[in-house]
């Protein structure tokens, strides 16, 4: 169990974490204060005797769907030197134990706590429940002294969850794999107490109601909970990715009262993040600040930034994908907003909006603060390969409309050697305005609507409004910016989309009751028209290459000179992500349509499959994509667990797409012999390029550049109109990658940001708004 984020989270306790609230267990009448994770639907609850009693115990429970193979809690919110309680079903019984860990390894059984199962502990066909009394559990001895729960104050308990069963289900000391998910929530422990008689009754196995009390001192009082009131907003923006950040900033700049909701938490140091490498301790740098740590996003044992209810890589934190991607930042060419790529004609003049974006966030192909390029051997070798194929070198973003037979240094949106993006620019200006409110760790379930009119959003945070509902002002609007998977899911849960998806929501016990009446369902092609770049990795070796230990050491033990240089001046190798060079070429397919191939060159390799012996310190990768002009389409939807996923993958559905990509790869490797010392090792000479592509693992084709699931266009064929308003609604909009109808020319976040600039201008220009 890797609950490493407690320190990072605690700085936000009480203001942005989802909060524990009181509830009464229907099986035993016990009133607990707890939290239900909206993704896995597991409830974690606690109740304490009066503070004045100085009792070293509490009553707790875990209620989980049968899919939860095990779950656990850390009441104090950390893993190390903490009381850890875990439980799992074994047949019709619950097996549970108290655990303790002194390092981030398998926790062992803890002596001292006394666990007593209470009535209502059970296992049935759909759920399991553990109700327990935990004695010797408020204070416990550690190597450094004593740890104590803040029973008269505020804290951030942690929960853990796993879909992988324990190794020996019948044993209380069973080992188990690391949890598959975890999280925190705010908890005012001082509220979670009952009077002595009530607690004694429940602790002895009694049932029935009692009188909850607030016991912040030695005096016991009956709570007087004020009713939760909700603040209405002119605009509620759901999702703090690039689309949502730009929309929220420009709307607040226009004087509108704006609420921005993000389901995740902070990332960079400037936003309150603290999760960084040990070698950067004290430097006010997190994993997300340091560009050179990009490759570790996919290998970290504690990847809290990935959305846990999307089955592809998707970022759930401030900045969304722009906080965890390689930050390749391409200024959009004309084709990115042309009618030939599916855009309404009113979008054709993108330049004023792209200029606004560039003014806020310039690109750079020399991210190191000293203006030098580092670790460029792979770029130099690839350039030799491309030169003999008629390519020419450009500064790519100075010539955005030139994308045939061109290459240049990779361009990024890093700022002064650190991750920049919309978080460091648009968010920075928005949060300084008094009419802008930002809430994180808020999960939006659905929009609340009466027919075509949206009146607010429903969230998991009841501190923001009754039943978690946040209202709009009378002329207010909602903008969904939750991404190509998140925005469709919210629409499905709001009764908008194909009937098969909305009926899945209807069948869900928690989500179904929040749907509008079936007569108000809106049938739109939500989830269709989905594109993503198919990508194929080619791995080479060359004696000049420095593979940089394949980026394996940059988190724990980077080269000392490089880490020292970066800490001193944000310069050197670690001031850039792994890409070093990019190139494009246009191809005409057998159907007469033009498709563009893109390539990205970087030291190292994600995987190598070869019969050749090779020097691992000399490997580099060219990833070959197909972008604008691609004709294959897929579909995004949800399953019965409300997990967003591709229902139909979008790669190579049209065989001409595959044929063009194969042609492009064959052209790339055709002149290998012209570059002395260059060897292609994946694929090697045991297979052809055709067979290599045809047998490529479909899961590895994913570039995570998903667009189109809420495509813009005309009524009957699209989800949003030319102003990004959802068809058949009055005041619901989508501003994120999901409205883009065709793959952009390059990695999409530049196109997304330009799109957002234009979209918010159109929204502000519509009559009838706030």
Q: In the structure, what pLDDT confidence band is assigned to residue 80 with cuts at 50, 70 and 90?
A: confident
pLDDT above 70 (res 143)? no
Cβ count near 163 (within 10 Å): 12
Helical axes 483-493 vs 499-507, angle rounded to 10°:
70
Strands 258-262 and 193-194: unpaired
- For residue 466, being part of any structural domain is answered with yes
pLDDT at residue 226, as a whole number: 42
Q: Where are the beta strands (DSSP E) in 629-759?
A: 635-638, 644-648, 679-682, 732-734
Angle among Cα 149, 150, 154 to the nearest 5 degrees reads 130
Task: Give residues with Cβ within 8 angstroms of 579, minimum separation 6.
Answer: 326, 328, 410, 600, 601, 602
State the pLDDT at residue 662. 98
pLDDT for 104 = 64
267-315 tens-digit pLDDT: 999 998 888 999 999 999 999 999 999 999 998 877 888 888 888 989 9
Sort residue 41 into left (φ over 0), alpha (ψ -120 to 50) or beta.
left
Phi (first) and psi of residue 562, to 5 degrees: -75, -45
Q: Report the range of poorest mean pLDDT among 36-45, 235-244, 722-731.
A: 36-45
Q: Does 744 share its domain with 638?
A: yes
Q: Distance (Å, rounded) from C-alpha 110 to C-alpha 326?
A: 43
**pLDDT at residue 743, as a whole number:** 97
Average pLDDT over residues 380-407: 97
CA 770, CA 761: separation in Å to the nearest integer? Answer: 14
pLDDT digits (tens, 9 = 90+) for 518-535: 999 999 999 999 999 999
Give mean pLDDT, residues 219-239. 66
Residue 9 has pLDDT above 70, yes or no: no
Domain CATH number, residue 716? 3.50.50.60
* Residue 274 resides in a domain: no
End position of a domain, from candidates 184, 213, 242: 213
CATH number for the domain spanning 14: value is 2.60.40.1210
441 and 382 within one domain: no
User: What domain range includes position 735?
Assistant: 227-267+305-360+420-530+633-645+706-770
208 and 236 housed in the same domain:
no
Please state the three-class secondary structure of 678-714 as a single string.
Answer: CEEEECCCCCCHHHHHHCCCHHHHCCCCCECCCCECC
Per-residue pLDDT at 225 exceeds 70 = no
Mean model confidence pLDDT for the chain: 91
Domain match, 136 and 97 both: yes
Report d(CA 5, CA 159) in Å as an integer: 12
By annotation, the residues acting in catalysis are 705
Please tell me the distance from the alpha carbon of residue 1 to that of residue 20, in angstroms, as a whole number: 22
User: Which residues are paired to 412 by β-bridges?
Assistant: 328, 364
Q: Is the peptide bond before 683 cis (omega within 30 degrees of 0)?
A: yes
What secondary structure, in 3-state letters, does 238-262 show? ECCCHHHHHHHHHHHHCCCCEEEEE
Phi, psi of 358 (to 5 degrees): -65, -35
Count of CB atoms situated within 10 Å of the CB of 92: 9
Are residue 373 and residue 463 in the same domain, yes or no?
no
* pLDDT of amino acid 322: 96
pLDDT bin (cut points 50, 70, 90) of residue 707 is very high
Q: What is the DSSP letter of 516?
A: P
- DSSP-assigned letters across all residues of 407-470: EEE--B--BTTB--HHHHTHHHHHTTSTTEEEEES--EEEEEEETTEEEEEEES-TTSSGGGEE
Question: What is the per-residue pLDDT for 460?
Answer: 84
Q: Which of the two residues, 170 and 180, has the higher pLDDT score?
A: 170
Q: What is the pLDDT of residues 540-587, one digit of tens each?
A: 999 999 999 999 999 999 999 999 999 999 999 999 999 999 999 999
Assigned token pair, 40? 């896995």
Q: Is 484 a member of any domain?
A: yes
How far is residue 576 from each of residues 290, 573, 622, measured CA to CA in Å?
8, 6, 17
Confidence of residue 728 (pLDDT cuts 50, 70, 90): very high
| Residues 434 and 570 reside in one and the same domain | no
Question: What was the pLDDT predicted at 8?
Answer: 34
pLDDT tens across 24-76, in order?
888 888 999 998 887 788 999 999 999 888 889 999 999 999 999 999 999 98
Residue burial 172-210, b: 16+ Cβ < 10 Å; e: rest: eebebeebebbbbbbbbbbbbbbbeebbebbbeeeeeeb
- 520 and 601 together in one domain: no
Tell whether the torsion through CA atoms of 391, 394, 396 and 402 is positive or negative: negative
Asked if pLDDT for residue 248 goes beyond 70, the answer is yes
Asked if the structure places residue 594 within a domain, the reply is yes
Mean pLDDT of 462-480: 93
219 or 284: which carries more pLDDT confidence?
A: 284
Same domain assignment for residues 115 and 82: yes
Give the chain's domain count.
3
Q: Classify residue 1: in a domain, yes or no.
A: no
Do residue 547 and residue 605 come from a single domain? yes
Residue 297 lies in a domain: no
CA angle 645/510/236 to nearest 5° reads 75
Is 284 inside a domain boundary?
Answer: no
Please determine, for residue 676, whether its predicted confidence score (pLDDT) is greater than 90.
Answer: yes
Same domain, yes or no: 503 and 615: no
pLDDT of the residue at 403: 97
Percent of the chain beyond pLDDT 90?
A: 77
Which residues does 697 contact at the CB level (< 8 Å), separation at least 6? none
Question: 377 with 436, same domain?
Answer: no
Q: Tokens at residue 411, please? A: 């361009």
Single out the residue of 239, 370, 385 nearest to residue 733, CA to CA. 239
**Which stretch, 13-22, 87-96, 136-145, has highest mean pLDDT?**
87-96
Does the residue 273 lie in any domain? no
Q: Is 546 exposed, middle or buried (0-12, 13-18, 19+ CB in 10 A)?
A: middle
Beta-carbon contacts of 601 under 8 Å, excluding residues fewer than 6 positions away, are 378, 379, 382, 579, 580, 581, 582, 583, 620, 621, 622
Residue 17 has pLDDT above 80, yes or no: no
Token pair recorded at residue 311: 């089955």
Tell whether 63 and 207 lie within a shared domain. yes
């Amino acid at each position: 169990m890797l609950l490493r984020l407690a320190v990072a989270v605690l700085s936000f306790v009480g203001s942005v974490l989802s909060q524990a609230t009181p509830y009464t267990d229907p099986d035993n009448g016990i009133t607990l204060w707890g939290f239900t994770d909206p993704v896995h639907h597991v409830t974690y609850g606690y109740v304490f005797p009066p503070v004045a009693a100085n009792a070293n115990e509490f009553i707790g429970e875990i209620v989980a769907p049968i899919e939860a193979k095990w779950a656990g809690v850390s009441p104090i919110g950390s893993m190390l030197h903490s009381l850890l309680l875990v439980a799992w079903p074994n047949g019709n019984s619950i097996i549970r134990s108290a655990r303790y860990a002194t390092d981030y390894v398998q926790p062992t059984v803890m002596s001292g706590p006394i666990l007593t199962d209470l009535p209502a502990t059970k296992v049935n066909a759909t759920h399991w429940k553990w109700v327990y009394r935990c004695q010797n559990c408020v204070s416990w001895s550690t190597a450094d002294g004593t740890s104590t729960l803040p029973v008269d104050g505020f804290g951030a308990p942690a929960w853990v969850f796993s879909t992988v069963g324990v190794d020996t289900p019948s044993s209380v000391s069973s080992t188990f794999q690391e949890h598959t998910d975890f999280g925190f929530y705010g908890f005012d422990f001082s509220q979670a107490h009952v009077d002595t008689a009530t607690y004694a009754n429940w602790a002895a196995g009694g049932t029935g109601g009692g009188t909850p009390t607030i016991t912040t001192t030695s005096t016991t009082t009956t709570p007087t909970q004020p009713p939760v009131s909700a603040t209405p907003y002119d605009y509620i923006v759901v999702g703090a990715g690039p689309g949502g950040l730009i929309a929220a900033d420009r709307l607040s700049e226009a004087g509108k009262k704006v609420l921005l909701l993000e389901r995740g938490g902070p990332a960079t140091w400037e936003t309150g993040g603290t999760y960084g490498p040990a070698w950067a301790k004290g430097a006010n740098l997190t994993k997300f600040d340091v560009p050179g740590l990009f490759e570790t996003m996919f290998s970290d044992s504690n990847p809290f930034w990935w959305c846990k209810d999307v089955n592809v890589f998707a970022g759930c934190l401030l900045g969304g994908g722009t906080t965890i991607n390689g930050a390749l930042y391409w200024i959009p060419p004309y084709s990115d907003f042309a009618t030939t790529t599916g855009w309404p004609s009113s979008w054709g003049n993108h330049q004023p909006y792209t200029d606004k974006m560039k003014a806020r966030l310039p690109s750079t192909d020399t991210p190191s603060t000293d203006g030098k390029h580092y670790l460029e051997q792979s770029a130099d070798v690839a350039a030799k390969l491309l030169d003999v194929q008629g390519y020419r070198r450009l500064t790519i973003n100075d010539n955005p409309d030139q994308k045939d037979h061109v290459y240049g240094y990779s361009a990024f949106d890093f700022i002064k050697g650190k991750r920049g993006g919309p978080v460091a620019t648009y968010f920075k200006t928005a949060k300084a305005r008094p009419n802008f409110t930002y809430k994180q760790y808020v999960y939006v379930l659905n929009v609340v609507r009466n027919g075509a009119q949206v009146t607010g959003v429903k969230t998991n945070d009841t501190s923001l409004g009754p039943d978690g509902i946040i209202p709009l002002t009378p002329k207010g609007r909602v903008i969904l910016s939750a991404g190509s998977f998140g925005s469709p899911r919210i629409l499905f849960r709001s009764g908008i989309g194909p009937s098969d998806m909305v009926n899945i929501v209807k069948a869900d016990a928690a989500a179904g009751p929040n749907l509008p009446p079936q007569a108000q369902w809106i049938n739109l092609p939500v989830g269709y028209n989905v594109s993503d770049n198919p990508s194929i990795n080619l791995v080479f070796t060359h004696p000049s290459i420095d593979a940089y230990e394949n980026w394996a050491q940059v988190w724990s033990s980077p080269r000392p000179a490089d880490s020292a240089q970066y800490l001193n001046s944000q310069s050197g190798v670690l001031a850039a992500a792994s890409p070093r060079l990019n190139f494009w070429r246009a191809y005409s397919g057998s159907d007469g349509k033009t498709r563009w191939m893109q390539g990205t060159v970087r030291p190292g390799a994600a995987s190598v499959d070869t019969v050749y012996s090779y020097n691992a310190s000399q490997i580099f990768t060219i990833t070959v994509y197909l972008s604008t002009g691609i004709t294959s389409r897929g579909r995004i939807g949800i399953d019965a667990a409300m997990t967003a996923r591709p229902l139909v993958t979008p790669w190579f559905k049209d065989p001409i797409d595959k044929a063009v990509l194969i042609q492009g790869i064959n052209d790339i490797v055709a002149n290998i012999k012209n570059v002395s010392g260059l060897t292609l090792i994946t694929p090697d000479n045991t297979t052809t390029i055709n067979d290599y592509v045809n047998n490529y693992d479909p899961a590895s084709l994913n570039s995570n550049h998903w667009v189109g699931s809420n495509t813009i266009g005309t009524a009957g064929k699209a989800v949003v109109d030319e102003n990004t308003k959802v068809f058949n609604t009055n005041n619901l909009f989508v501003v994120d990658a999901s409205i883009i109808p065709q793959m952009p020319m390059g990695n999409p976040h530049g196109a997304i940001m330009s799109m957002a600039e234009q979209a918010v201008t159109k929204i502000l220009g519509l009559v009838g708004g706030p």
